[in-house]
Amino acid sequence: MAEGLFQPLLVTTPEPGHKLKDVLTLQQMIALLKEEEDYWEPDQLNTKLMITRLRKIFYDQWGWNSELIRGAKDIESRYDVEILPTPTEHTKPLRRYVNKSYQPVYRKVVYTNHDRIYGSSRAGEVPFIYQNDHQELLLPDGYYCDTAHVLAGLDAYNYKEPVSPLPHFLFFLKDLLPHVDSNVDIVTWLGDIASTSGDFIFDYLRNKNRPVIMSQEQTYINIDAPGSDMLGDVDPYIISQHYDVGSSKGMRYTDILQDYYFNPASARNKRVSIFCNAVGLKGWDGSNFSNEAEWMKYYTKQLRDNITFQVFSLSGEKISAFILLLKIWFNGYKSVLKKELLLEIWLIALKEQIKKEPA
């Protein structure tokens, strides 16, 4: 592998920190998601709307409405989201840096005091679906997948647009500022790789510009872009091509999951080939793509701009964060961020899996 680093994709163990006893199977998660669909009766067959509502269980607020999936910002969610300064039971850390030091805040999802089923009797309680990192689940084929990443990618697909700090009416000026052309990319695989690179730079700056050792770089990859996340990042590209996920009168989302993951003839058998084509990799000859150099050049810039968004937002959007943003945008810290390397090991992981897929 490049410099000894590798990018996980298909993995048979949970991500770091997720206890095996807390992992649900896909069938168990489908049952929980069906309960959530039925809560919104009679909208269960409004596929597009339900994808947003289900996504918001796991990802809502903090840039999701204002930057990443703006078109879905006004859609109601069943639960309240609380952001806490310290962890409590069933909270999840949100990466934040203060003076370049990791100081997360914590996201807690709770029942409202006006739930359609429970009224106020469960107000403030965490629903089971959000507990114990249940979004990472075990698929029938033995691989781990983050179902919230699947939902995020599909929701972005239904509201495709660039990600830019500019308002919509100024998007024609987006090339003058950092931007990512596809919100689907940024909420899935590109965003996870950017998280890894962001941790590289924060580690470097926190330790007085001391290079990050390779073992620590791999640790950041395993935490920020674990195989279950990356598989959850790939599958929305396939599902969106083979099911009408934007329909207002379509399938239950849970029926889509049932067919995609359990039907032996589903498109998941060629998932990596389909994904590569969707993100612009063309001309596979059994070993390489014909346009890898062009693809790397394009996505290196996309990754750079994605990283600028991350370091700025995770640093509290202060003057020092703005200065760091500019340095990265003008291609500073290249040896620290390792943008090309991270894309290279992702490409290697994809090519290894394509070789195993049926012709």
Backbone angles phi, psi at 204, to 5 degrees: -60, -50
How far is CA 214 from each of CA 5, 31, 204, rounded to the nearest angstrom? 7, 41, 12
How far is CA 27 from each of CA 240, 254, 257, rounded to the nearest angstrom? 21, 10, 9
How far apart (Å, rounded) are the C-alpha atoms in residues 112 and 126? Answer: 10
**pLDDT for res 80:** 96
Computed over every residue of the chain, the mean pLDDT equals 95
Per DSSP bridges, beta strands 144-146 and 136-138 are antiparallel
**pLDDT for res 317:** 64
**pLDDT for res 315:** 83
Given a cut of 70, the residues of the chain with pLDDT beneath it are 1-3, 317
**pLDDT for res 2:** 59
Reported pTM: 0.96
**pLDDT for res 3:** 64
Q: If you search the block for the tokens 């770091």, which residue do you land on? A: 16
Give 304-332 pLDDT, tens digit per residue.
999 999 888 888 767 888 899 999 999 99
**3-class SS at 83?**
strand
The answer to whether 148 and 126 are in contact (CB under 8 A) is no
**pLDDT for res 136:** 96
Give 145-203 pLDDT, tens digit per residue.
999 999 999 999 999 999 998 888 888 899 999 999 999 999 999 999 999 999 999 99
**pLDDT for res 63:** 86
Q: Which residues of 338-352 are buried (b: 16+ CB within 10 A; e: fewer)?
A: bbebbbbbbbbbbbe
